Structure 1
């Protein structure tokens, strides 16, 4: 087979493929087959290596940081409550380290970005962020952490984009570069960066995002996945920051235009990242659920594919009757040690936890280690064994065995049975209240709030699980001016990644 550079045999029966087409074909192969393809010829090996087609050994490294099938719960950010942050989890959940009055701004693979620090709730480790001087108002913030690639984390501070010219002025061509500040745990300081347009960065989308609305934020939310930051901007635009390449891309969001939420509610449209499945765009309109999947070609182009289009109306009718074989429900789980006092959030709250450490910091940083080329095939085979349960998290599994009636079994508990007649009914009497919480960390399932009930909807089987009431989240005995305006699914990371901080 020729690759467009003249290589290959001269039998005359070769199929000619340009190099970029061959790269696109090879990029669709499973990891094991892709690793074996390097044995075909040197040209193929060079293509696979130069284009980094073999992804990181995620399943091979992840068990060292994430317990198998771990889903700790959900962090909620709230307004008008005695606590700004609540943790919603299954019964028997381990209490985590987090200050109730701090507000969770971002979450990424077990780490939380608070107002001025990065916290690992599972270990109690906290790293203070230095002040950004001079202070700049951020259009968006993002947290990037992937223990399968590196034990370091980055915090991104995107500056406000150019404002709309005043009325009567002649609009000038807006500058296309994006300015941002990046804090890296490697260096311990903020650094200024500038990203230039990539291969898919239409100028009209930049102009739309750079034109602020009076009431809407520039960026509604952000998510990290495999080295890139995906920001859900106003004007129905997705902006993809690629810091390692120094570029950014943009693509129009599919579906009906409009704001994803108001400022004081959870969204009904959201861009979500699934660690194993990539970037998705989720939209709910009158209980009609649509899920699009983002595809990125080797040419740098972006497009959306509609993956699921489901009517949740039958499930909505069955939530009130709750035809559920209900055993246990989720609820609010307090932090370890209880809520801190008002004057404890000045560092002392975290220092108490850090004082318990034995000081044995692991100085071995494996983030720059690369696998030897001759071991790639064996690594791919080991990866398959792991997916079949090769790693036995014996200590974790033994501690969390479902051996009593009060433990939560995500595979069997609280499924909602659908009455055959429910499919013929119209919208429920309570209307079409439905909000998006997030993606399940390791299942192809969405966490939603429907009719003030927190549920888990499995996309592959179209089944729904009842988790619990949101009354503990929405209602406050002290004031009626309260709301939940942020949610972050939490997958605990037990590695002591905030070393010596």
Structure 2
């Protein structure tokens, strides 16, 4: 046995011995470590991770341990809106007028977020596109060079990029961006598909992905071998299942989970260069265009869907066995409860707003300073107490001929609370709701309908995507971190 093997055994033995210590003793040891040592210890095992997080040992004043709201993208609006708790002095602004080449005609929208960093698509006044990785809390940014074109000879494809960053693993803003190929349903006039390619298996046994590393500042092709026998389908099948703009992802314990076409999830291990295809929850694959939201909350990886207009279904991913599977943990229909409060598809008009503890910053409306508060109608008061404890005999399953009538609105998913069992919903692009999964308590948060959105066509008023935002106050220099 060489010295390297002896060192590995010694480290393993030391870790095993430390695991025998009581939690309070381990907590005291962790408190004596420098920040990077605490971050490294957190990655050793689940029990140490739980101790570090439970006692907020990772500089709670710097790391993303608070939840500040959602960045939302609306169709026909070119700047992301920020839906956040009201504050006289908001700590974060979604108005990115400090970006390079920013001007009155420039704009940008957030295309992804993780642990305080966001992916920003920015267009300057000349129409030139720029991509950045940005820390909104500190305004630190890094340009992201364009991903090189794919050598794949498959027509009608495009790429979607996903940000990977965990300050517990790296406090130096070392991040990665993973680019994944998507398939469009329509092609240019005159284009024809290669039959052999269209019927080929997707995903392939070895998937080639472009990965950008902030350490090298370059994109590189990396090969990921598929684990297990599961695959999504065929290339042709991917085209039949058009993916919406809500292409969510989660980075957790060294793995990137990506909501893919056919509503499968790709679990990509960036450390082992392997990936696994996770099939959709039972029943999802037979739905007609179900809205799926992939997210992270208190118990790991979650998947949620709105069935019909307002039946909320939530699953938790069980990774304990050989086969990863979705476990249904919540299934409730909110229609009767919504009708009880007379919410029959109420779209606000002419800028009227619903009052609540949260608000939309209305960045698009006020961006160039042309509009003012005098253009807006006074907010309408919401007198309803949005709180309900569901009893065992009240299963939230109600027929259409119920005494309250038929609900004509619809629900959309904004996302999950990162650390609490709460799912956030948009009710007919009108109210933001917080739905507590453990108690079935629902709270109205406030207006989510953007100012000036009534000027758009009714069938083009669409909430395209949303991302939960957790600010990170870490800075990029060693002196500022000490």
Residue number among 248, 253, 258 corresponding to 1:221 in the alignment? 248
Tell me if the contact between 2:200 and 2:235 (Cα under 8 Å) persists in the aligned partners: no
Matched, 1:475 2:453: yes
1:206-259 Cα distance to aligned partner (Å, 9 max, x none): 434774215613994322222211112222311111111110001211132358
Structure 2 counterparts to residues 158-307 of structure 1, below 5 A: 158-160=180-182, 166-167=194-195, 171=199, 175-198=204-227, 201-203=228-230, 205-208=231-234, 211-214=237-240, 216-217=242-243, 220-258=247-285, 268-274=291-297, 276-286=298-308, 287-297=310-320, 300-307=322-329
Task: Report the CA distance shift for 1:321/1:301 in structure 2 as closer, same or farther (over 3 A).
Answer: closer
Contact 1:474–1:483 (CA under 8 A) maintained in structure 2 = no
**CA distance 1:191–1:121, shift in 2 (3 Å):** same
Secondary structure of 1:230's aligned partner: strand
Residue 270 of structure 1 and its aligned partner are, at CA, apart by 1.7
Of stretches 458-467 and 131-140 in structure 1, the one that deviates more from structure 2 is 131-140
**TM-score, length-normalised on structure 1?**
0.64
Q: 1:447 aligns with which of 424, 428, 433?
A: 424
1:83-482 map, 5 Å: 83-92=78-87, 93-96=90-93, 98-99=95-96, 101-115=107-121, 116-134=131-149, 138-151=158-171, 152-160=174-182, 166-167=194-195, 171=199, 175-198=204-227, 201-203=228-230, 205-208=231-234, 211-214=237-240, 216-217=242-243, 220-258=247-285, 268-274=291-297, 276-286=298-308, 287-297=310-320, 300-320=322-342, 328-333=356-361, 339=367, 415-417=386-388, 426-427=399-400, 429-431=406-408, 433-451=410-428, 452-472=430-450, 475-477=453-455, 480=458, 481-482=460-461
Mapped partners of 2:146, 2:318: distance in 1 = 37
Any idea what the Cα deviations from partners look like across 1:298-336, whole Å, max 9, x if unmatched?
x653112121222323432244379xxx98432222569
Unmatched runs of 5 consecutive residues or more in structure 1: 1-22, 37-47, 342-412
Distance 1:259 1:499, change over 3 A: farther
Q: Aligned-pair distance for 1:470?
A: 2.8
- Aligned equivalents of 2:238, 2:64: Cα separation in 1: 42
Q: TM-score, normalised by structure 2?
A: 0.66
- Say whether the 8 Å CA contact 2:70–2:84 is kept in structure 1: yes
1:17-72 CA distance string (max 9 Å, x none):
xxxxxx9xxx9x99949989xxxxxxxxxxx999956554444216143475x221
How many Å separate the matches in 1 of 2:468 and 2:42? 35
Q: Distance in 2 between matches of 1:103 and 1:170?
A: 33
